[in-house]
Amino acid sequence: VQLQASGGGLVQPGGFQRLPCTASGGTFSSYVMGWFRQSPGKEREYVGVITWSGGVPYVEDSVKGRFTISRDKAKNTGYLQMFNLKPEDTGVYYCAAGASTNPWVGNYNNWGQGTLVTVSS
């Protein structure tokens, strides 16, 4: 199964962006789909996760109240919804398949190509 995040682009501060992560080449069957981001000059940062079967989402405190995570099993697609975007949200966003809700990067064994989100006026 290959993962591909998309939907990135330029958005103004305070704006909204939704990033789909589509699994192709098979049915997504991992325990979780996680989301990470990497801002310029920084290490990859955990954003949140959703359990694929039960659809239970979790987002980090740093984005709680602004970001939400969902999934559509029928479409084999997960989503990261980002509201009230700030310039510091700029970065490359990745989705990944993992075996547990552990935020450790090593827990994720299948990474999609990232999509760049730029928050700027």
> What is the mean predicted confidence (pLDDT) over 14-27?
96
> What is the mean predicted confidence (pLDDT) over 7-28?
96
> What is the mean predicted confidence (pLDDT) over 3-31?
96
Q: How confident is the model at residue 10 (pLDDT cuts 50, 70, 90)?
A: very high
Q: How far apart are CA 43 and CA 35, in angstroms?
A: 14
Q: How confident is the model at residue 96 (pLDDT cuts 50, 70, 90)?
A: very high
State how beta strands 9-11 and 115-119 pair: parallel
Q: How confident is the model at residue 87 (pLDDT cuts 50, 70, 90)?
A: very high
> What is the mean predicted confidence (pLDDT) over 24-31?
92
Q: How far apart are CA 4 and CA 63, in angstroms?
A: 22
Angle at 99 between CA 85 and CA 78, to 5 degrees: 40
